[in-house]
Each structure stands twice: as structure tokens, then as C-alpha cells.
Chain A
Amino acid sequence: MKVPTTPRDHLIANFAALAIVIHVAEAALPTPLPGVKPGLANVVTILVLMRYGWNTAAWVSLLRVVAGSLFLGTFMSPTFLMSVCGAASSILVLRLAMTVPGLGAVGLSVTAALAHMGGQFALAYILFVPHPAMFRLLPVLMTAALIFGTVSGIIAAAVYQRLPQPISLR
């Protein structure tokens, strides 16, 4: 049995695979605090967003989170929920951010990173640790998100310049 695929499916799959590889590799890095990761897989999301639009980027994001968690064995775990929440917040905010004229890779990436951290924090606070002390952590987490978002953005901008013509999806 063969499931018919379109060129677009292939595109998404390839980008998702790239994002997953980065995500899994990053998971091996030690974190000072849970949830503080460089988030370099976002580079892929931003690039896809800029080249192929929001729909494609959303699919890539979704696949990255789900498949990534399957690879890491964290599917349906609290980590997975945080990942989903973060990615969902991020991609939804990007939908709005996209409409801002003149916003480049760095701007999109910073916005996405802050939204991602915000979504994760909200979930963690509501579901896992509803303690006021969590708010002492928030500025630190957001600082990390800001820094890594900027770095991801610069990388994405650098890569974007060197990309050849986009493949037609029609």
C-alpha cells in the first residue's frame, strides 16, 4: 500500500527531519534549569516561515515536537506537554508577528522564543508548580529566551541569504 505524497509533503518532511535532528541533539545538552535550551530547532522553523509561509512552518513545528518526543521517549510526558505548549504559543504568535512589515529573521525569532518560553512557563505554573516562587524564575528564563532567540535569529538570517530560489509548491 502506498500513500500518495505531494512535493509539498516531501518538503515538510525534509525540514521536519532537519528540525528533529537538531532538537534531539540539543536534548543531549545539560540544562541549568528545565526548559532552558538553545532552541536551535527554531532556526528551521523561522527559515521555513520566511520561505514557505505559516502553514508549512506550523506543520514542521508540529512534526518536530511529536516525532522529536517519540525519538526521545518523552511522548505524552510532562516534558512533551511543555514542548507542545511552547511550540503552539510560538507558532500562533508568529502568525501575528508575520504581519508586521519589515520584520526580519531576528525579530521573528526573538518573538517566537519569548512566546515559546511564555507558553511553557504558563503550563508549568498552572499544571505542575503553582507556587509563587516560580515567578522569581521567570525573568531568568525570559533572559535566556531573549538571548537564544537573538542567536537563532542571526543564524537564520545568515542562512537565509545563502539559500537558492525557493522550490515551487504549486
Chain B
Amino acid sequence: MQTARRVLLACLIVVFAGCGSGHRIHEYNFLALGTLIKVSVYGEDEEAAARAVKLLEADFAWLHDNFYPTRGELGSLNEALKAGTSAVVGPDLHALLLRGQELEQMSGGLFNPALGELFFLWGFVDDERPAGLPPPDAESVARILEQQPSMRDLDIGESAARSNARLLLDLGGYAKGYALEVGARRLLQAGVENALINAGGDITALGHAGERAWRIGIRDPDGPAVLAGIEMRPGETVVSSGDYERFFEHQGSRFHHILDPRSGYPASGTRSVTVIHMDAVLADAAATALFVAGPEEWINVASDMGVRYVMLVDDEHRIHMTRAMADRIEIIGDDYRLEVADLP
């Protein structure tokens, strides 16, 4: 009798203890890097959180002003390269360029920030594409690809210079990853240990959301619904690349912004790729490279780049995943065929 009453009471306490959480997440948002940046901080100290986010905002504003191909530090560098000369690069840009070289190599050239001229031709350089610009003609594309511009043709020291007349830099493929890295470092420095930085859909998780992990929903390429859910481990970044993020339509065809360096045209066969890794820059670059690799080759490229958690949605309603990803992700969308692959 006594035990029964105690059990009942315990159950009631447990039920009511579950309520009341979730009041201590403070949300901030601002525009930068062509998108809405949302920072969610979990903690009691609202003022400290606000201060930390203000610092992060300043960092992002600097990146926004300097890491676009046509302005700031990167803009100056591209101008200099075009003129055949060199330009001094600051420490952030220097580091990012070196990593760009490394990432191009790891991805077998599928990720290539040296194709700035190609991106410019397609109009995908600035935040908004010039209205009515048609897709480039085959000749212009061929002219660039002929020269095979690569990060290897960039000489990076205190200053940078190029040895390829068609090389121009566009860091769009990994700039958001870098911003997330910078943002995470800034928050931790400022004493914020539990936060979520959402840079237009690329998200870094710091710590936890109180008693539970930060939960992220992955968007379904077909529409605004959630395709899958995942719990983030502290320090992880999830990056999703999709053909629905930036695109334009011309005479009935759709052209999206993830170009295949081999053809010079938008990569086909893939609708979206999701990568999770502790290294935000790697995750960002890998998401791009794997999108280009497509439903046949992705597993090999994933292995080459050292990413374990990958999900690729192809254009035939199949979801391809690494085994590690399949074990931790919760698929919610119900009209997909699932295929699990093992990293070689």
C-alpha cells in the first residue's frame, strides 16, 4: 500500500519536473554574410550573453565586409591578381587560403575556391544575382575551364600572387564555416559555453541546451518540412548544401549555385547534402564537394576528406547515408528510400 502510494507520487513529481525548462534560451539575430544569423544562448546571465553576441556580430560584420570576392581584403586581393600583381594578406585570409589549398586537394578538385571567375560568370558572387542575367554560354565557360585554375596556382606567403591568368578567389564554399569557427571561438572567449550559432542554415552547437542536447532539423529539399532530426554533440557543426538555396530560372530550366568544377555547370543528381563534423570549415567545404560528387561517388570523396557523418539526398528520392550517420539521425520524411553505405 505504502509503496504504491510512493510510486504514484514519484511519477507525478517526475512529470511536473519536466515542465518549466526552456525558459533560459536567449535568442539574438542579425544580418551578415548575405543571410540571417541567429544565435541562441542557453544560460542565466542574459547580459553576458548579449555582450558576447555583440562581439560576435562585429566579427561577422568584418567577415562580411572583407571576405566577399569584390570587396574588402579579398576584393583588393582579387583586383591585384587580375592586374598580375600581388597583395599583402592579413592573418585570417592567409589561413583561409592555405586551408583552401588543402581542401581542394582533399576533395580531388571538386571543391575549388580558385574558380571565382566562373562563379562571377554565373552571377553567384554577390548576395543577390543581377536580375535577368542569362546563364553563361558554353564558350565563356570553356575558356575558364581550359586553364584549369586551381589553388595550387596561388602562391601564398606574406602576400599572395597567382600563376594562372584565370584564377580568381571566391570563398563562398567555406566562408560560412569559417565564420562559425570564428563565432564559436569568440563566444567561448567571452564565457559563453552553451549556444547555437545558426549562420543561414549552417549551425554550430556549443555545449548543451540545459539538460538536453541541441536539436537540429534538416530541411527536406522538396519543401519547407523537416526531413530528419539530429542531436548535436558539443562542438559539432552541421552544414547543409542544397539546390534550393540559391538558384535562378531561365526559359523553364533551373540553375542552382553549386557548380561542378569539371563541367562548369551546376552539379546534377543531388538535391542536398548534410555533413556533421567538429571542424566547421571542413564540414562546409565537404558539403560542397560531396554535392558535386553526387550519388555514385560521394562515399569515396567522404572517405578522402575524412568526414564520417554524411547524408546525401539525390534527385530520385533516395537518401544515402554513412553508417555512422544512419545510427544517429532520425528520419522523419516518409517518402524516401534509405541507403546506408560504409566508408571504404
Taking Cβ atoms with an 8 Å cutoff, the residues of A that contact B are 95-96, 99
Contacts of B17 in A (CB 8 A): none
* Chain A proximity mask over B1-45: 1 for CB below 8 Å, otherwise 0: 100110110000000000000000000000000000000000000
CA distance A99 to B8 in the complex (A): 11
CA distance A96 to B1 in the complex (A): 8
Q: In the complex, which range does the number of interface residues on chain B fall in?
A: under 10
**Which B residue sits closest to A131, measured CB to CB?**
B334
Contacts of B8 in A (CB 8 A): 96
Contacts of B1 in A (CB 8 A): 99
**Which A residue sits closest to B11, measured CB to CB?**
A96
Contacts of A95 in B (CB 8 A): 4
**Which A residue sits closest to B4, measured CB to CB?**
A96
Contacts of A99 in B (CB 8 A): 1, 4-5
| Interface SS of chain A | helix
State the Cβ distance, A14 to closest chain B Cβ, in Å: 28
CA distance A96 to B9 in the complex (A): 11
**Which B residue sits closest to A95, measured CB to CB?**
B4
| Interface SS of chain B | helix
Contacts of B5 in A (CB 8 A): 96, 99
Contacts of A96 in B (CB 8 A): 4-5, 7-8
CA distance A96 to B5 in the complex (A): 7
Residue contacts A-B, CB under 8 angstroms, 8 given: A95-B4, A96-B4, A96-B5, A96-B7, A96-B8, A99-B1, A99-B4, A99-B5
CA distance A99 to B4 in the complex (A): 8
CA distance A95 to B5 in the complex (A): 10
CA distance A99 to B5 in the complex (A): 8
Contacts of B7 in A (CB 8 A): 96
CA distance A99 to B7 in the complex (A): 12
CA distance A95 to B1 in the complex (A): 9
CA distance A99 to B1 in the complex (A): 7
CA distance A95 to B4 in the complex (A): 8
CA distance A95 to B8 in the complex (A): 11
State the Cβ distance, B266 to closest chain A Cβ, in Å: 36
State the Cβ distance, B8 to closest chain A Cβ, in Å: 6
8 cross-chain pairs, A with B, having the tightest CB-CB distances, nearest first: A96-B4, A99-B1, A96-B8, A99-B4, A99-B5, A95-B4, A96-B7, A96-B5
CA distance A78 to B202 in the complex (A): 47
Contacts of B4 in A (CB 8 A): 95-96, 99
State the Cβ distance, A46 to closest chain B Cβ, in Å: 18
State the Cβ distance, A57 to closest chain B Cβ, in Å: 15
CA distance A95 to B2 in the complex (A): 12
Given contacts A96-B4, A96-B8, 6 further A-B contacts (CB under 8 A): A95-B4, A96-B5, A96-B7, A99-B1, A99-B4, A99-B5
CA distance A80 to B187 in the complex (A): 59
State the Cβ distance, A126 to closest chain B Cβ, in Å: 17
Q: Which chain B residues numbered 215 to 261 have a C-beta less than 8 Å away from chain A?
A: none
State the Cβ distance, A131 to closest chain B Cβ, in Å: 10
**Which A residue sits closest to B1, measured CB to CB?**
A99
* Chain A proximity mask over B155-188: 1 for CB below 8 Å, otherwise 0: 0000000000000000000000000000000000
CA distance A96 to B10 in the complex (A): 13
State the Cβ distance, B330 to closest chain A Cβ, in Å: 14
**Which A residue sits closest to B8, measured CB to CB?**
A96
State the Cβ distance, A90 to closest chain B Cβ, in Å: 15
CA distance A95 to B7 in the complex (A): 12
State the Cβ distance, B126 to closest chain A Cβ, in Å: 43
CA distance A149 to B148 in the complex (A): 79
State the Cβ distance, A117 to closest chain B Cβ, in Å: 19
CA distance A96 to B12 in the complex (A): 14
CA distance A96 to B8 in the complex (A): 8
CA distance A76 to B325 in the complex (A): 39
State the Cβ distance, B254 to closest chain A Cβ, in Å: 33
State the Cβ distance, B28 to closest chain A Cβ, in Å: 34
* Chain A proximity mask over B110-153: 1 for CB below 8 Å, otherwise 0: 00000000000000000000000000000000000000000000
CA distance A96 to B4 in the complex (A): 6
State the Cβ distance, A158 to closest chain B Cβ, in Å: 28
State the Cβ distance, B24 to closest chain A Cβ, in Å: 30
State the Cβ distance, A77 to closest chain B Cβ, in Å: 29
CA distance A99 to B3 in the complex (A): 11
